[in-house]
Amino acid sequence: MSAEAVPVSAVPADPRGAWRHRMADRGIDRTLWLLLPAVIFVVALFVYPFLYGLSLSLTPGTGETGIFSNYAKFFADSYYSSTIWLTLRLAIPATLFNTLASVPFAYWMRGRFPGKRAVTTMLVVPITLGTVLTAEGLLNFLGNAGWLNRFLMLIHVIDAPLKLTYNYWGVFLSLVLSGFPFAFLLILSYTSGIDPTLERAASTLGASAWQRFMRVTLPLLAPGLATTFSLAFVMAFSVFPSALMLGNPQGEEHVIAIAAYEQAYTYYNYNYASAIAMVMGAVELLVIAAVQLLRRTFYIGTTGGKGA
């Protein structure tokens, strides 16, 4: 047989097959069906409740008119509108503290050293306890006759017990205790994603430890810090049990989640409660948007590590 006589395998043209190839090229094929359970899950447990809540919040209560009447009521009543400020006043300092305090720990722990697992476990355990247990523990620990005050009085640092419960500090400390492990774990994964040779290179170029951190590590960590802050903030902003147990839930710690709960389950005003929940979501979105905008003005580009 001569060489040029070798036939090209003669498959008849199949328009259906060609169409399938074109779709597969765009990432559309039968494996997409695997997404179905996730789609059902998201629609049933997030999209539907959200839209239902939104429509509830836009439904005026008895004797009211206008679709924004619930929102108008919220912003007109200072006892309710002040919850935004009261919650921000707790959530932002606590989140800032958790995020920033995690950086030195995570930076120090980015390499390998003996006992790393033990230290990580110790720092992370509070996350597993849940907020109610943490709040109860803190109530005992920080109370007037709690260990902390008794110890401080014993060593004569203070004469009268510090008031650390049923006020701002109780809730703040509870937010730190439950929020820090979360922020730390996230930041640790970001710091270990930064190539350690970058710092070695910086040191051969004459950068001191502080300069290496400020000029190399911190900029590369910036996107991670922004993400961590955003996630930790959302958690802190929805503070509920610790405000109820460690704060003054009718006064200075009348946080927005408590306000929504009151309306829903004390006054059975679901429409008003839904409007408060929507305001809560909007505030969270605004803060996250501000953080992302801020990070963009500081640093643009790839991170070299994960989380680009």
The window from 24-32, 95-103, 208-216, 238-246 that contacts other proteins (CB under 8 A) reads: 208-216
Q: Does 195 bind other proteins (CB under 8 A)?
A: yes
Question: Which residue has tokens 């509870």?
Answer: 174
Angle, CA of 266, 249 and 90, to the nearest 5°: 130
**193 sits near other proteins (criterion: CB under 8 A):** no
CA distance 154 to 164: 17
Site for other proteins contains 306 (CB under 8 A): no
If we measure between CA atoms, which residue out of 138, 230, 129, 125 comes closest to residue 185? 125
Distance CA 279, CA 275 (A): 6
Task: Based on the shown chain and the rule CB under 8 A, indicate whether residue 297 belongs to the binding site for other proteins.
Answer: no
d(CA 85, CA 115): 42
According to the binding rule CB under 8 A, does residue 107 interact with other proteins? no
Alpha helices, DSSP H, located in 43-167: 48-57, 69-76, 78-108, 116-129, 131-142, 147-154
- Contact map string, positions 72 to 101, toward other proteins, x by CB under 8 A: ------------------------------
- 301 touches other proteins (CB under 8 A): yes
Using CB under 8 A as the binding rule, whether residue 205 contacts other proteins is answered as: yes
Contact between 273 and other proteins per CB under 8 A: no
| Of the residues 86, 216, 235, 255, which one makes contact with other proteins according to CB under 8 A | 216
Nearer to other proteins, 15 or 206 (CB): 206
Q: Which of 23, 211, 251, 286 binds other proteins (CB under 8 A)?
A: 211
Angle, nearest 10°, between helix axes 116-129 and 131-142? 100
Q: Which residues bind other proteins (CB under 8 A)?
A: 195, 197-198, 200-208, 211, 215-216, 219-220, 299, 301-304
